[in-house]
Chains A and B, each alone.
Chain A
Amino acid sequence: MPLLSVADLHTHFQTPRGLLRAVDGVSLAIEEGESVGLVGESGCGKSTLGKTILRLVNPTSGSVAFDGDDIAKVPSDALGPYRRRAQMIFQDPFSSLNPRHTIERILTAPLYVHGIGDRAERKRRVREMIERVGLPLSSLSRYPHEFSGGQRQRIGIARALILGPDLVICDEPVSALDLSIQAQILNLLVEMKRDFNLSYLFISHDLSVIRYFADRVLVMYLGRVVEEGTGADLWARPLHPYTRALIAAIPDPARRRQAAPIGGDIASPEDIPRGCRFHPRCAIATSICAKVDPMLEAHAPGQRAACHHAGQLTRPPEA
């Protein structure tokens, strides 16, 4: 049984302009010890999906099964045990750390809230964790603004791991960092995964980072997972035209001065196109694409895509 299993999850928001379908029918599973990458462009619902899985946002419908319990239906005051086991690392470590609290206090708070250990035990765990993420003990008495971006991300990681979670959702953990710092943080996350046998849902818009970090990859477009596969298969043989476009859009010296072959703007989640949500930008769309919403189906072993013409490189002739 997977550690986490999400089925037909929807998270809709009511906005002044109408209904915004941020997460619009997502199903996924994460096995114990697995690192699942979630890639997609801005506003496609990655963070909302992550937050809904953690019940930081309530789902509109669907289920989130974690180790046998449906988290989507647990009353919010009974989520305590789940919160211990599922944690999140945020993109911007600065805005997620209270500027008026010392690092020691920031790291002790989760232990305190969950009633873990006595004072001495909490202190011991905090010291152990800060050293584990590569910061000196002297950091504990300092404040967030005294640290660089990379160091703050280390603190964010320490805070997420101090409760000993099984599942960690990393929401763009390196996007705000300098290139020369990204590798440090990615390596630390890999070490943590090994040492604590973590499962990751790793969110990023950067395919290269996902390529390195994920065992299995989910590609999201406008609230939906449109392709899923193991890393190697998906990069070598993308089935969905959107996945192909994403790969082709990565700046690459090998494509000197060539444009990436995709036009059009990303639609708004308040106005998701009928039929296939990608069809207005799709180079191989046919008339069925504008009418019928394709389901995520297996087209190759271990690889699923939501596309009527999955795997085709050119527009098929109309019947």
Chain B
Amino acid sequence: MTAKLLDVSSLTIAFPRGTPVADFGFAIGEGETVAVVGESGSGKSLTALAIMRLLPRTARIASGSIGFRGRDLLALPEPDMRKVRGREIAMIFQEPMTSLNPVLTVGKQIAEVLRLHEGLSAEAARKRSIELLDLVRVADPHLRVDDFPHRLSGGMRQRVMIAMAVACRPKLLIADEPTTALDVTIQAQVLDLLDRLRRELGMALMLITHDLGIVGQWADRVVVLYAGRGAEEADAGPLLEDPLHPYTKGLLAASPRLDARLHYTAGALREIPGSIATAQREPGCPFVPRCAMALPSCRISPPPLEEIRPRRLLACPPTAAQEQANASAVGR
């Protein structure tokens, strides 16, 4: 694996009422695309905000560290963190409309970032803004630079957000569901753009999504979160071909796919019973209430994410034991 750029370890985020992220860890290598998947409320956005040190004030980091290029971001004084934010790590947020300022032109908003971080003059910043709009493939950038956000389509707004995020050539770009609000054909364009920028600027990409198709097409590595805990982590291909955690397995079996010849007249979809809400008061593995494999031991304490073979991490002891039995049976 490439050198570690980001190394999140035992991260626990607590609110006065509840702990939505608990003992969660994962790493991102230089130039790598790591997808973080999980259902609504599983803690994806909070994890991203913790890395940016932008958690809501009621949140408390109860434990953990966030290593980034040799420093622990959680230990950094705020003035130093301000230099990291935007310049070394940038983020695109879930809702592009609410994160753009409606009363400033697109050009002014990009220029603001450049003047703040790079100290460019007004004129140089404008010129660079046009170049950035061109980089993210906005047509007629010299005209668009003077447009207000409401004049742009959803896809164009997301491109502007991306232009602002990559303005200072960050080492890590966190994209929080960057295409969820976009149409299918536009979504494909934006993902292609992000991947091209990753290559051209040598960035790593943390891609938060709940779309397993996106994972398969664009990610190197995948981290599956369930109720704030890591369930499984693996390279994208092996994860989709051979999911191990009962949740990941269930998810893949439950999703209708275009290539699968499944039709309602021929049979029902596989279901995962229950909902993530049942994880709330679970002392053991958060998936226990929905899991067909659960053993009494699963209910005692949450299983940690452990390496069961190279590049393959799993937080499910019963499955891990089974895997090991299979492996010794075939003499691996």
Where the two chains meet, the residues of A that have a C-beta atom closer than 8 Å to any C-beta of B are 35, 41-42, 148-151, 178-184, 186-187, 190, 193, 205, 207-209, 211-213, 215, 231, 235, 245-260, 262-263, 265-266
Contact = CB atoms under 8 A, between A and B. Distances in A.
Given A179-B255, A205-B183, 8 more contacts: A148-B277, A180-B39, A183-B256, A183-B269, A212-B263, A251-B191, A251-B216, A265-B155
A231 B258 CA distance: 11
Given A178-B276, A249-B188, A257 B264 contact: no
B211 interface: yes
A186 B275 CA distance: 15
Nearest to A190: B264
A251 B276 contact: no
23 contacts: A41-B183, A178-B210, A180-B247, A180-B250, A180-B275, A181-B275, A183-B254, A184-B273, A187-B271, A208-B255, A208-B257, A213-B264, A245-B185, A250-B258, A251-B218, A252-B213, A253-B213, A253-B215, A253-B237, A257-B195, A262-B185, A265-B156, A265-B186
B217 A212 contact: no
B236 A212 contact: no
B187 interface: yes
Nearest to B182: A42
A25 to B, nearest CB: 22
B185 A249 contact: yes
B307 interface: no
B192 interface: yes
B143 interface: no
Interface of B: 39-40, 153-156, 183-189, 191-192, 195, 210-218, 236-237, 240, 247, 250-251, 254-259, 262-265, 268-273, 275-277, 290
**Residue among B254, B262, B265 facing the most chain A CB atoms (10 A cut-off):** B254
A249 B217 contact: no
Contacts of B216: 251-253, 256
A304 B120 CA distance: 57
B256 A209 contact: yes
Given A183-B270, A209-B256, A251-B188, A42 B251 contact: no
Contacts of B154: 42
Contacts of B39: 178-180
A35 B265 CA distance: 10
Nearest to A268: B153
Contacts of A183: 254-256, 269-272
B256 A42 contact: no
B236 A253 contact: yes
A311 to B, nearest CB: 20
B17 to A, nearest CB: 17
Nearest to A263: B189
B65 to A, nearest CB: 30
A94 B216 CA distance: 32
A180 B195 contact: no
Contacts of B269: 183, 186-187, 212
Contact of A251 (B40, B217, B264): B217
Contacts of B259: 252, 254
Contacts of B251: 179-180
